Structure 1
Amino acid sequence: MTKHLGLLFTCALLVGACAKKEGVTISGTYENPEENQWVKIELIMDNQLTVIDSFQLAPSGVYSRTIKVTEPSFYRLNFYNRHVTNMILDKSDIQLVKDKNDPRNGYKVSGSIDMDYIYQLSTLKQDFEKQSQALNGEFMEARNNGNMAALEDIRSRFMKMKTANDKQIKSAIMKMDGSIAGILATSFIDEEAEFAFMDSLAQKYKKELPNSSYTKQLVDKVEAYRKLAIGSPAPEISLPNPEGKIVTLSSFKGKYVMIDFWAAWCRPCRMENPNVVRMYQAYNDKGFEILGVSLDRKKESWVEAIAQDQLTWAQVSDLKYFESEAAQIYQINSIPATYLIGPDGKIVAKNLRGPELEAKLKEIFG
């Protein structure tokens, strides 16, 4: 009896040795803390932020917070909306340290293999962007000089560089076994264009993290993409033209047709229109058609833009902005956006613009 009481007394004094810590501890030092202002730890789930903890910093800026984690999840530590650091919390305690490479003087996570994965991909992406900027300088110079051979060479080099970068990123993601970092990392690639990869990744996580909320999100996203994947039948569009006559996508079957989502108010769309006009004039006689789907709200603006930009192909709209029936079906979140549909009614390519559109049409029609 006495022996047991002594053991209990010892445990009461040495709680750290006898009690298991519940949760993950986040610690660090924040420079120049603000008095009477709250720091927030926020959960990122379903594209929403939920504050799960908030605290004020001492003048020293030193902090340590323990968060109960029921499953590996994405979080962020928000210092007064000035410095926001993304985190993955799983089992390991982490520290936030100064990020020497951040021009905004922010912080990064130390002690997390999950975040190390993300930083690895960030470096790959940054290197690719630097190389792209260098090529862009060459491109502008060649275009100003009218050097078509140089332009073609630069386009070819860019596509090879992009293909190599995408391959590196996909390879790295596939090696992130059991880490939800692999799900977050899909933001580093064109998810829709990489449907086959995304499908394989979803199957992988269904085996490795079958009960994760993030796996469910990934699987749901892939299933939504499947309906609009290259090779899938293009969903029907049936909308009125400016005269009120219903025009359907299926009426173009037997030809290559590009669905062009645009709007009079969309400056990038209007800037791209001269190139689309040029492509239509070059390939219409060979079997190329366009179905313009406007996301305008006002008919007057829509009709005026059609005349100004000399868009002579079929145009339709229900004037419902991004709530347009067609925009909802084709999951359009930004414009310009395009889908190229083959003679058999199946999706051939997505979001072709400028040189990429020209190259694809040249490949098809010669």
Structure 2
Amino acid sequence: MKKLFLIGFIAWVSFSCESEKGWQVTLHGTVGFPQANGVIKLEQLNVITEGKEQIIELNKDYTYSQKVRIEEPGYYRLNFYGTQFVDFIIDKSDIEVNVDGNDPNGFVEIKGSPDMDLVNKVQEITAENQQNPRMVELNDEFNKARALNDKARMEEIQEEYMAVYNQGIDKVAALLKEQGPSVAVINLLTASNFLDRDRYFDLY
């Protein structure tokens, strides 16, 4: 009898430890235009296993707050009524996601996620880099040189273009180094091709 009790106790402890694996964060926010009888879902991306979907209830004041247990950092998606979808990264911090809720391209605001802040900053730097006035000028000059079949000038322009381009990419590399290992950093390094592996080998 004691042996059976001991086995049962060990099984209960193991189950309790398993159920408490990971950590808990709070996901909260406001929906500007909720849909009657609609459903808000939290989905874990890149997961095949069933049961990774949670239903989030909206309060009468159009706010929501949901405790989420995380076993490892990763990408998640908030599905607002099958109309508006918001992808973001959950790690150790609580996150606030505010949306319109009635428009696929509607208002979205994500607060409290260092990973998403990093992704947004990288996108901002790369956009500024692409819109650099000197790069626009060099592109025009290159087209003129190509029309004249001036290969020497084309090579000169390409070298200067890459030098200006790398100034912006150097900022991205420095930002990733400062951030340290994270889901966002790993994703940017593996899913993006704007960082030259040979030039920034110390990041890989």
Partner of 2:114 in structure 1?
Answer: 113
Letter in 2 for 1:173: L
Contact 2:142 2:157 (8 Å CA) reproduced: no
Q: CA RMSD in A?
A: 3.7
Partners of 2:106 and 2:64 in 1: how far apart? 18
Partner of 1:183 in structure 2?
Answer: 186
- Indicate which of 166, 169, 179 corresponds to 1:166: 169
Structure 1 length normalisation: TM-score?
0.40
The structure with higher relative contact order (CA 8 Å, sep 6+) is: 2
CA-CA distance at 1:153 after TM superposition: 4.8
Letter in 1 for 2:140: E
Partners of 1:59 and 1:145 in 2: how far apart? 65
Partners of 2:96 and 2:138 in 1: how far apart? 38
1:155 equivalent to 2:158? Answer: yes
Partner of 2:144 in structure 1?
Answer: 142
Residues 82 and 140 of structure 1: CA distance in aligned 2, closer, same or farther (over 3 Å): farther
Letter in 2 for 1:29: T
1:95 equivalent to 2:96? Answer: yes
1:79 equivalent to 2:46? Answer: no
Residues 124 and 73 of structure 1: CA distance in aligned 2, closer, same or farther (over 3 Å): same
Partner of 1:42 in structure 2?
Answer: 43
Task: Using the aligned pairs only, state the percent identity.
Answer: 23
Residues 45 and 109 of structure 1: CA distance in aligned 2, closer, same or farther (over 3 Å): same
Write out per-residue CA displacement over residues 59-96 of structure 1, whole angstroms, 9 at most, x where no aligned residue.
Answer: 64321111101222222223245433332222221112
Residues 90 and 105 of structure 1: CA distance in aligned 2, closer, same or farther (over 3 Å): same
Residues 195 and 141 of structure 1: CA distance in aligned 2, closer, same or farther (over 3 Å): closer
Partners of 1:160 and 1:53 in 2: how far apart? 48
Write out per-residue CA displacement over residues 144-199 of structure 1, whole angstroms, 9 at most, x where no aligned residue.
Answer: 864847655543332112222222222211221243322122234446x416746x
SS at match of 1:31: coil
Structure 1: stretches of 5+ with no match in the other structure: 1-21, 203-366
Structure 2: stretches of 5+ with no match in the other structure: 1-22
Partners of 1:115 and 1:127 in 2: how far apart? 18
CA-CA distance at 1:97 after TM superposition: 3.9
Partner of 1:68 in structure 2?
Answer: 69
Partners of 1:124 and 1:166 in 2: how far apart? 8
Residues 25 and 142 of structure 1: CA distance in aligned 2, closer, same or farther (over 3 Å): same
Between structure 1 and structure 2, the one with the greater Rg is 1
